[in-house]
Amino acid sequence: SSKLRHVEKDVLIPQIMRDRAKERCSDKVQAFTKCCQETGFLMVVKCRQENSELKDCLVGHYSDPLFYEECKTEYLKQREEYRATGIKKKKQKLASNV
């Protein structure tokens, strides 16, 4: 059945959404990270632009009902595989920027 438990709706699916939104906003993530590395303590002031672009990008995805449905489908697919095989799919680590 595709009934979702509370924890799935509130924790597990949002986690997929966060991961996938970060991938889709990766250029903004990189720009913000780069800015922070270059400015150190002043990053709050200096990287305001990058930070708000990153936030806008992420929030845009979080509030998109189509994106939610996409991530829900992805979650249900993973849950189905797990139930069928008993093997949890390892969370793919996003390659961290060096």
DSSP string, 19-62: HHHHHHTHHHHHHHHHHHHHHGGGHHHHTHHHHHHHHHHHHHHH
How many separate domains does the chain show?
1
- pLDDT confidence of residue 89: 66
Q: Is residue 82 part of a domain?
A: no
Q: Is residue 50 part of a domain?
A: yes
**3-class secondary structure, 5:** coil
Q: Is residue 56 part of a domain?
A: yes
Q: Is residue 73 part of a domain?
A: yes
Mean pLDDT computed over 5-14: 94
Whether the per-residue pLDDT at 39 is higher than 60: the answer is: yes
Contact, 14 vs 59, CB < 8 A? no
Structural domain including 37 reads 6-77
CA 4/CA 39 separation, integer angstroms: 44
Whether the per-residue pLDDT at 74 is higher than 90: the answer is: yes
CA 94/CA 21 separation, integer angstroms: 12
